[in-house]
Amino acid sequence: MNSKAIARGEIYGRHVIVKSIEEARKVYASGYYGKPVDVDKPSGPEFESPLILNPLEASYLAEKGLLEVYDGQRMLSPEEVKERLLASRRLRLLYKVYRDLREKGLVVRPGMKFGCDFAVYRYGPGIDHAPYLIVVMEPRESIDPIEIVKTGRLSHSVRKTFTIALPEGSRVTYVMFKWVRL
């Protein structure tokens, strides 16, 4: 491994698996990346299983030089990793926001259970609750007002700020909704 890398992963379809338990723990502990296999809610990096990284996580870690990704015996460059894992326009759009949030020092986890793209933490799951729920949209994409109300009500009921992320070029604009009673 290069001097900066903390793990080696194998590409499987659209995911990367870190098989070494020791390396999997290092990756998870470095910023709550990935999901340990067969562990519902890890309470920390003390798990005994490989780690599955989604396309966004693996691409980001490869870009940062923290993860070496292999396809069989061949190590892929960070550009090749992104090309393989971020094949759709939607994934590339999500990656822009994911990368921006990570660069701001935030912990970004999948938001599927909240009906959004990301749940974003200041410190990490188990340490604090995610204060933000993020939906990623194209800058000129329209949204049904009913969707704003539905997502807003859900985010308010779980005490999180509903945010729409609009990536355009190298910038990401965030529109946050605050619900008030009149």
Q: What are phi and psi of 67, to 5 degrees?
A: -135, 130
Sorted by sequence, the CB contacts under 8 Å of residue 178 that are 6+ apart come out as 161
Sorted by sequence, the CB contacts under 8 Å of residue 99 that are 6+ apart come out as 60, 63
- Residues with a known catalytic role: 121, 129, 160
Question: CA–CA separation, 115 vs 160, rounded Å?
Answer: 13
Question: CA–CA separation, 88 vs 123, rounded Å?
Answer: 30
